[in-house]
Structure 1
């Protein structure tokens, strides 16, 4: 139940469109507030884990505080809320440091396995990366220590005493778990920062921390059930089964997070080399009433990979969609005009030939389309950019090819 994913999107391409006025982003969950201007969302999966915590902790309270009766589940639910409040403090620590370093924070999510701070950009130095990762577990340690110290002011065996004890232990567990040296945990980001600092290469740090994360995932998958089996004499079979299921979920999350970190790091390395000029196809210009077969014949002769629809004066009007062309059987192509298979040019479908990297991805997100007209600074046509070619280049980069 810890913050197993840390600052998830600090390894993802930044998104300039933060849409601060949007009440609920798709998949974001329920908007709870905007401290420091950063939206906080609670996903539906939080209610599932809150119910699970209430059920398990409520059952344990029957032995510790038998006089509570059914009220123990209300106390257990209060603990679930307080626990996730401490997780929120953990995430706010990451957020404040990210804002201090002007990295930008897209949002915070509270979900099934803890919290996620979606940081828009990567830290510029290994020192900042280390501190950005370490501050979350540090705050969890501080909260655990505060709860532990506060127990001296309450009576043991009472509701306040039990709640403080539970919060002290849970925060210390969250801190310890997140300090494990493997991505995507905070400890993995700290390991990445150390290797980055020693080698001078961020990618080397990411690879080392990702492999450590995979080893950690295997250790969690087999280690937690073994520990649970060793304690089986004092626990029920249901508890042992729950531990095994939790181990499997954590192992999958850690393994996938480690792999995702490597893929995103490769993407960051590839982005500077992603240029419009390097991906643009040569295009042939035809009028809208030109038969498709004739347009394709001209494209083959010109060794072009795209067809541009122009008016009588040669001004661009629309782009023929490759996907639509492929759906037309060859025997029908002499009878189908290219204008029926084209999409009219919108302002966002004209891209400067010098566009590259993150600016290119931002432009593609702003106006989704399958093809874009590429123009020079003087307005002349350079060619056509197909999104399929961009996706292929990014897929190859992520796969390390």
Structure 2
């Protein structure tokens, strides 16, 4: 990945498509961007099919088992609207000259991999708000169509589409990171104070508040819309709240690093890394890493391209008797765009990269693109503490 210089608008077309991470599938291209789907999306599709089956049966009686197929169709249509939301982010990012690596659909929605972060409050505002506005636009079009369509299966699909996009648009506008509305709040505070770090911290605290309130979403749905608060709704609320809290916390940590670590060089903090095939058993990968005195393990595909960073906590959580049979890819975090950084990145540029895509570890590559090592956020934090004792 280039060293985060602002690229020219034509650069995205010249870039080699990134390899598909393990656990993901390439669907094709949309508006010139690779579209990937995570395995977790299929779980969401199955969940939507089960939830919508009784509603489909009521709208179109007598379908039998086909009601589940109709539910899957609704899931696919919903996925396309998520794609529209993410494509809006991609178009805005390209408008400012930032290459877009891919769009990924997953259980909680989607993610647009952009190489580089906004360099002004205006860019931050536009790049973040276009996604929710696109969802609200789809909701409006679907609602208008629903007014002229007859009752039945097609009418149900369009009506569901309208409500789903209305919820997506409004929810994403909530003022807290990592939601789009949090980025809008960050942009506003950044513009008012001329301090990006302060904007991130304010939006991060707001994100934590949104996460706590999300835990009570089932109660609100039960009281105001007569939707029973069952185990599934509580579980989904907990997962969503954890996602928001983690994203907000990581963004705040990155902002603090940016404020306090202006002169750190990634090369000096890199952990020695061992590259292993993604299908190599965990036990053998750990043995080789210990033998090489490596502090991290990177999984590579058949062509030697890095695809993931093995998570130490996940390794420790895997029982020793299973490690000879579990592939390293099962305990590795996929390398999404933004997790690969040049080894000589430093100072403001390093902190900007960490802030833009919060993660526990990042892959460092040399100018030729070869693996140099792994940078852990914990090591960056430890270096700061040691410097300021």
Interval of TM-score (by shorter of Structure 1 and Structure 2): 0.5 to 0.7
Range 64-73 or range 387-396, more displaced? 387-396
Q: 1:187 aligns with which of 161, 181, 190?
A: 181
Whether 1:251 aligns to 2:246 is no
More helix by share: 1
Note the 1:51-200 alignment, pairs <5 A. Answer: 51-156=46-151, 158-200=152-194
Q: 2:219 aligns with which of 207, 226, 230?
A: 226
CA drift of 1:73 comes to: 1.4
CA drift of 1:154 comes to: 1.1
Whether 1:363 aligns to 2:366 is yes
Note the 1:270-309 alignment, pairs <5 A. Answer: 272-275=262-265
What per-residue deviation string (whole Å, max 9, x for no partner) do you get for residues 337-380 of structure 1? xxxxxxxxxxxxxxxx998455995438944457xxxxxxxxxx
In structure 1, the residue corresponding to 2:45 is in which secondary structure?
A: helix
Decide whether the 8 Å contact of 1:267 with 1:398 is kept in 2: no
- The total of aligned residue pairs comes to 300
CA drift of 1:240 comes to: 1.8
Between Structure 1 and Structure 2, whose CA radius of gyration is higher? Answer: 1
User: In 2 relative to 1, CA 400–166 (structure 1 residues): closer, same or farther, beyond 3 Å?
Assistant: farther
Decide whether the 8 Å contact of 1:263 with 1:399 is kept in 2: no
Measure the CA separation in 2 of the matches of 1:107 and 1:193.
Answer: 24
Measure the CA separation in 2 of the matches of 1:355 and 1:246.
Answer: 38
In structure 2, the residue corresponding to 1:115 is in which secondary structure?
A: strand
Decide whether the 8 Å contact of 1:266 with 1:397 is kept in 2: no
Decide whether the 8 Å contact of 1:54 with 1:73 is kept in 2: yes
In structure 2, the residue corresponding to 1:183 is in which secondary structure?
A: coil
What per-residue deviation string (whole Å, max 9, x for no partner) do you get for residues 75-111 of structure 1? 1111100011000000000000000101222221100
Q: Which residue of 2 aligns with 1:264?
A: 254
User: In 2 relative to 1, CA 265–362 (structure 1 residues): closer, same or farther, beyond 3 Å?
Assistant: farther
CA drift of 1:36 comes to: 4.1
CA drift of 1:23 comes to: 6.8
Q: 1:205 aligns with which of 199, 206, 217?
A: 199
Whether 1:41 aligns to 2:36 is yes
Structure 2 residue runs without a partner (length 5+): 271-290, 295-342, 351-362
Decide whether the 8 Å contact of 2:18 with 2:101 is kept in 1: no
What per-residue deviation string (whole Å, max 9, x for no partner) do you get for residues 160-211 of structure 1? 1111100000000000100000000000000000000000000000000000
Measure the CA separation in 1 of the matches of 2:78 and 2:25.
Answer: 18
Q: Which residue of 2 aligns with 1:376?
A: none
User: In 2 relative to 1, CA 143–273 (structure 1 residues): closer, same or farther, beyond 3 Å?
Assistant: same
In structure 1, the residue corresponding to 2:230 is in which secondary structure?
A: helix
CA drift of 1:120 comes to: 1.7
Measure the CA separation in 1 of the matches of 2:68 and 2:33.
Answer: 32
Q: Which residue of 2 aligns with 1:318?
A: none
Q: Which residue of 2 aligns with 1:392?
A: 379
Measure the CA separation in 1 of the matches of 2:126 and 2:376.
Answer: 39
Q: TM-score, normalised by structure 2?
A: 0.67
Decide whether the 8 Å contact of 1:42 with 1:111 is kept in 2: yes
CA drift of 1:400 comes to: 11
Decide whether the 8 Å contact of 1:108 with 1:116 is kept in 2: yes
Measure the CA separation in 1 of the matches of 2:54 and 2:239.
Answer: 23
Decide whether the 8 Å contact of 1:86 with 1:140 is kept in 2: yes
In structure 2, the residue corresponding to 1:57 is in which secondary structure?
A: helix
Decide whether the 8 Å contact of 2:86 with 2:110 is kept in 1: yes
RMSD: 3.7
In structure 1, the residue corresponding to 2:62 is in which secondary structure?
A: helix
Measure the CA separation in 1 of the matches of 2:94 and 2:385.
Answer: 28
CA drift of 1:62 comes to: 2.2
